Homo-oligomer: A and B are copies of this chain.
């Protein structure tokens, strides 16, 4: 598997392929030519001796310092050094790959004037499987300087990397992989560190899983609706058309498709006119997730396919211009909105489980016990998903604006994009657990309902039910629940459910 990078068409799916599936990357010929051309311009500008930020001047408060040509290598190396102060847990190897792919793609647009050899090195390291060790904390999100500096450190043969399953010094890995460390020239330091690719790379993987969760939400709430034997009227196309909201219309359409042929359409005496909102509004609130995701994805795509470098080198005009293109406030706040929407999605799922456990609504046994209520069954596990929901609620509190004014009051804005991404990533994981537990509930309810006298599932939900049952059997006696929860989580994380309903 190979992904061609052009600078302007990197998608979340391609990043996933490179990062998770291990696809190789290749720089397109056009992009390579752009790299060469813009590097040439850099040298022309060096000769012209105009003061340009981070190029022949210092950075931050030190922007009043001048850098002479003979110190370019040292200056750029030290620029890397002084930014390698990452702390905390390390990004996964997949995440580091995603980050490198994004950084490389943006460099290909030719706005940095980076040495082509440096740009190509991202591709070489990716293809060789040399993955720098990158601690996750230390960036306030106006460019992810420190995380990218840790990658830069590895590129010059210092620091540590993961290589073929082993952690080792970058120098050793270079040797094993048959590579010489790069030597930095003018502007290379900034080109390596001055970007939000760390946030974007991690975000890309999170967005992939979010898109799957949006899809799975429709499947899971369809299963739960069958578990409840609830109403489908809120899913009707005409109702959606009258409202005009694209997200919820899509969800309802999906659910109608999954539920086609289900016994749920059967009327029976005493069937309630309206189900609890967690069922009735499932498509509606999952639709809000689609709405928000569409907005956020738009800005993530731009982030992965445009330059966020400062200064910005304009090839045609032969100029290099100071700017704030590293601002990622739209993306950061879009993700904070996503977090809030997910707190709704999570809570809807939790309430569906609480309702499925309630015989008054389901006419099934309490806590869906297989033995008519004798066993504890799913009474206690409510605390598990409730505690995860609480964590999601907490993670949905915004943090992007909680910054300090730094660098002698020059850097007096920030957006904390990496922390925002990491919060979102944790929310995704928590929701994967919650959805796993909802699947346990929904399928247990369906099974009890089948036992009561047969119950035909929809075409999609039948397939989904079978897929889940292959992963996890009916809960027929009190046993430690943790292994089941783990399996259900892994089933959700695998997105097998999404595959199951495809015909």
Determine whether the beta carbon of A82 is less than 8 Å from that of B333: no
How far is the CB of A137 from the nearest CB of chain B, in Å?
6
| Assembled-state Cα–Cα distance A65/B379 (Å) | 13
User: Once the chains bind, are B400 and A397 in contact (CB under 8 Å)?
Assistant: no
Partner of A137, one of B53, B139, B329, B391: B391
State the Cβ distance, A323 to closest chain B Cβ, in Å: 4
29 contacts across the A-B interface (CB closer than 8 A)? A61-B367, A78-B478, A82-B375, A83-B380, A85-B380, A87-B433, A111-B242, A137-B384, A140-B390, A239-B321, A239-B323, A247-B330, A274-B322, A278-B413, A280-B322, A284-B324, A284-B327, A288-B329, A291-B299, A292-B334, A329-B341, A347-B413, A355-B409, A382-B407, A390-B402, A394-B397, A394-B419, A396-B398, A398-B398
Hey, what's the 0/1 contact readout for A76-90 against B, CB within 8 Å counting as 1?
Answer: 001101111111000
> Residue on B with the closest CB to A320?
B233
Are A376 and B82 closer than 8 Å at their CB atoms? Answer: yes
A398 and B397 form a contact (CB under 8 A): yes
Given A81-B478, A373-B62, A482-B84, residue A142 in contact with residue B277 (CB < 8 A): yes
Chain A 155-199 interface 0/1 with B at a Cβ cutoff of 8 Å (1 = within): 000110000000000000000000000000000000000000000
| Known A-B contacts A53-B274, A322-B273; A85 and B379 likewise in contact (beta carbons under 8 Å) | no
**B480 and A159: CB pair below 8 A?**
yes
In the complex, chain A residues 265-283 whose Cβ is within 8 Å of any chain B Cβ: 272-274, 276-278, 280-281, 283
In whole angstroms, what is the CA distance A376 to B79 when docked? Answer: 7
| Interface residue A474 (Cβ < 8 Å from any Cβ of B) | no
A467 beta carbon closer than 8 Å to chain B: no
Least CB distance from A499 to B in Å reads 24
What separation, in Å, do the CA atoms of A283 and B324 have in the docked complex? 9
The answer to whether A93 has its CB under 8 Å from any CB of chain B is no
Given contacts A137-B388, A242-B325, A379-B60, A351 and B273 within 8 Å (CB-CB): no
Picked from B62, B334, B358, B415, the residue with its CB within 8 Å of the CB of A344 is: B415
Q: Which residues of B contact A243 (CB under 8 A)?
A: 302, 306-308, 325
| Assembly CA distance A9 to B402 (angstroms) | 40
| Proximity string of chain A (46-69) to chain B, C-beta cutoff 8 Å, 1 when within and 0 when not | 000001110001111111110000
Q: A139-B387, A322-B280, A413-B278 are in contact. Are A379 and B62 (CB under 8 A)?
A: yes
Q: Once bound together, how far apart are the Cα atoms of A142 and B390, in whole Å?
A: 14
Report B-chain residues with C-beta under 8 Å of the C-beta of A478.
78, 81-82
**Which A250-308 residues sit within 8 Å CB-CB of chain B?**
272-274, 276-278, 280-281, 283-285, 287-288, 291-292, 295, 299, 302, 305-308
Residue of B nearest to A389 (CB): B404
| Closest B residue to A325 using CB positions | B243
Docked Cα-Cα span, A277 to B409, in Å, equals 9
**Cβ-based interface call for A350 (8 A):** yes
The reply on A386 being an interface residue by CB < 8 A is: yes
* CB nearest to A346 among chain B residues: B401
Judge whether A450 is part of the interface by a CB distance below 8 angstroms: no
A135 at the interface (CB under 8 A from B): yes
Specify the chain B residue showing the minimal Cβ separation from A51: B273
Q: Are B323 and A333 in contact (CB under 8 A)?
A: no
Q: Chain B residues near A287 (CB, 8 Å)?
A: 330
**A453 near B: Cβ within 8 Å?**
no
Contact B400–A344 (Cβ < 8 Å): yes
**What 0/1 readout, one digit per residue, does chain A (234-249) give for beta carbons within 8 Å of chain B?**
1010110011110110
Q: Decide if A498 is an interface residue (CB 8 Å cutoff).
A: no
Tell me whether A39 is interfacial, beta carbon within 8 Å. Answer: no
Given known A62-B379, A292-B333, contact A480–B81 (CB-CB < 8 A):
yes
Q: If the complex has contacts A285-B329, A408-B358, are A140 and B383 also in contact, measured as CB distance less than 8 A?
A: yes
Judge whether A445 is part of the interface by a CB distance below 8 angstroms.
Answer: no
Report chain B residues within 8 Å CB of A81: 376, 478-481
- Nearest-neighbour CB distance to chain B for A78, whole angstroms, equals 4
Determine if B324 and A236 form an interchain contact, defined as CB atoms under 8 angstroms apart.
no
In the assembled complex, the Cα of A405 lies from the Cα of B352 at a distance in Å of 12
**Cβ contact of A402, chosen from B64, B366, B393, B414, cutoff 8 A:** B393
Interface centre among A245, A355, A375, A400 (most CB of B within 10 A): A245
Which A residues between 481 and 496 are near B, CB-CB below 8 angstroms?
481-482, 485-486, 489
Q: Beta-carbon contacts of A125-143 to B below 8 Å, as 1s and 0s? A: 0000000000101111010
